[in-house]
Structures are given as C-alpha cells and as structure tokens.
Amino acid sequence: MSPQQVLTPFRSALFVFAAASATILGAWAFQLAGYAPCELCLKQRIAYYIAIPIALLTLVVASRHKLGSRRAARLGLAALTLIFIVSALFGTYHAGVEWDFWPGPADCTGTLEKAGSMNDFMKQLQTTKVVRCDAVAIRILGLSLAGWNAVISALMAIFAGLAAAPSARAHP
C-alpha cells in the first residue's frame, strides 16, 4: 500500500483536525498550569486558529464522494500543508532563538538594561515584557514547546501534503 492509499483526504483531514486541536488544547493547559506564553508562542498559535476550522471543513468535504468534493478536499489539504509548513518554520525559528542560534525580536529577548534611577526603573517596569522569547519555560524530552510545535507542524504538513496529491482518494 502506498502512503496515498493509507492517507486519504478524509483520514488526513481527521488527523490534522485531531492533532491541531490536541496541540492547541495542550498549549492552553500548559498556560493554565502556570507556563505563561511569550510573544512568539502566542504568534505560533495563529496557525492553529486558522487551520482547525479549515481541517474541520476539509473533513466534512472529504466525507462526500463527489468529484467536486475530492477537488475541494485536496484544496483544503493543500492549504493546511502550507499553513503547517510556515508553522514548522516559525517553530524552528523560535526554538533557534531559545538555543541562541540567532537573535530573536528585540522586544522579548536579550538582557535587561540596568536602570539609572528609580524613575527609569519604574518606566522599565511599565514597558518591559516579563515573558522572554529566548528563555525556555519547560523542556519535554529535550525539546521546548516551540521545538515540539515545529515537529508537530511538520508532521501535519506531511500528512496533509501526501493526501493533497491528485492521486489520493477522497473517501475513507
């Protein structure tokens, strides 16, 4: 059996919907557990907020057995592939910032400047973000949550991309 026979548009859309939903629920659970997200973490979630409804719509469309539905499902899967390729690259960028491979955004990375006076210190408190993008809050099996986002996004891009190919079937 080829991957395209196993990864039908329906199964792939179901996988992406379930994996994306579980990932964003996991991110929210970590946040509720006290791991505050940084600015880059919050931006990484945008891909999921866009992809989950597209995956659900693609899942519904792929469950139909009409020729137009197959094309629409492949289009949805192609969109999901692009979304998660970008998400994987963005997760890789954020993980690289955390590993000090390259600099991150100036407003959430780097060292804090020492305040010259109490007035300067009070201004810093009002303008400095507490959650740093280059500081890892938690590592799981050696990867930060940004690293896991890159891995999960890449897997979803692969699953969606394989099923988006024209030879993939539209039914389970």
Question: pLDDT for 121-159, tens place per residue?
Answer: 677 666 655 677 788 888 889 899 999 999 999 999 999
pLDDT of residue 135: 81
And the tokens for 107?
Answer: 């407003």
Look at residue 18 and tell me whether its pLDDT is greater than 90.
Answer: yes
Overall average pLDDT of the 2-18 stretch: 81
What pTM value is reported for the model?
A: 0.81
d(CA 123, CA 172): 59
CA 78 to mean position of chain CA atoms: 16
Q: Where are the domains of the chain?
A: 3-106+134-164
> Which distant-in-sequence residues (6+ apart) come within 8 Å of 149 by Cβ?
23, 44, 87, 88, 90, 91, 94
Look at residue 19 and tell me whether its pLDDT is greater than 60.
Answer: yes
Overall average pLDDT of the 20-41 stretch: 92
Task: Determine whether 158 is exposed, middle or buried from the number of CB atoms within 10 Å of its CB (0-12, 13-18, 19+).
Answer: middle
Confidence of residue 76 (pLDDT cuts 50, 70, 90): very high
Q: Return the top range by mean pLDDT from 35-44, 51-60, 100-109.
A: 51-60
Overall average pLDDT of the 34-44 stretch: 90
Overall average pLDDT of the 104-119 stretch: 68
For residue 76, the number of C-alpha atoms closer than 13 Å in the C-beta half-sphere is 29
The mean pLDDT of the chain is 85
Q: What CATH number matches the domain at 3-106+134-164, 1.25.40, 1.20.1550, 1.10.10, 1.10.3470?
A: 1.20.1550
pLDDT of residue 20: 97
Look at residue 172 and tell me whether its pLDDT is greater than 60.
Answer: no
pLDDT of residue 103: 83
